[in-house]
Amino acid sequence: MGLVDVLKSFGLSDYEAKALVALLSKGTLTAKEVSELSGIPRTSVYDVMDSLLSKGLVESFGKPRKFKALSARDVIFALSRRVNENIEYLKRELPKIEAEEVDIIRVYRGEMVLEKIREFVEDARKEIVGVLSYIPDSVAEILRKAKCKLILISSNASIIETAESYEFRKKEEVAKSFKNFCHGLFIFDNEKTMSIFLDGTQIAIVSESSAVIEFSKMVIIPVINFMKSE
């Protein structure tokens, strides 16, 4: 990459870069001399020089007009200052127009699973809906502290006395089958969903995506309606 290309990368036009190189290499020049040395058409050279003047990179004096570039050090300083100003502008303005990034999926493991269930239950203010294979004591203890409407479907949902609970038909057989593990899906305040897998390895998958929430409701609501009709 030559000098002209590098100067262009700082926002100068092709003609401006060529004129500046000519002035730096030859010193003071008339517009005609700049045109001859740089290859800029004579019809364009004054516009180019006026543009460089407005950018503060060259000086003009005398009649006929002559032009002189700032020292190489001053040119570098002026260009770098402009770059720094542009970077600061981008730092300030780009975040304002950036679309908010939603953390679509978060995965928690181990002890963090129960901690997150506890956090979401404590924060919920409208409604918690959950469908679970089986509610273990550790989860039941948390659900009993819910401060909002609680709708549960599970093989042992009735252990949460404060909940609107629905149990599977053959709850005893189901409970016996599922007692060693818990798989389920919660919706909290229609704002976040949590799928839990407590089977030796504890895993929770959390999403605040509106699409995931709507999908979860499509899964849960028909089940609730079916259980209510039983």
> What residues does each domain of the chain span?
3-96, 106-229
Q: What is the mean pLDDT of the chain?
A: 88
Which is more confidently placed, 197 or 229? 197
pLDDT tens track for 130-176: 999 889 999 999 999 999 999 999 888 899 999 998 887 655 555 55
Confidence of residue 51 (pLDDT cuts 50, 70, 90): very high
Q: 131 and 194 in contact (C-beta within 8 Å)?
A: no
Q: Which residues contact 76 (CB under 8 A, 6 or more apart)?
A: none
Of residues 145, 142, 122, the one with CA closest to residue 198: 142
Separation between Cα atoms, residue 141 and residue 102, nearest integer Å: 31
In this structure, are residues 192 and 205 in contact, taking their beta carbons and an 8 Å threshold?
Answer: no
Fold of 106-229: Endonuclease; Chain A (3.30.870)
pLDDT reading at 104 higher than 60: yes
Contact 4, 24 (CB under 8 A): no
Q: Which alpha helices (H) appear in 98-209, and where do they start and end?
A: 111-123, 137-143, 171-178
β-sheet bridge partners, residue 68: 59
pLDDT of residue 171: 54
Return the top range by mean pLDDT from 49-58, 174-183, 219-228: 49-58
Domain 3-96 adopts which CATH fold? Arc Repressor Mutant, subunit A (1.10.10)
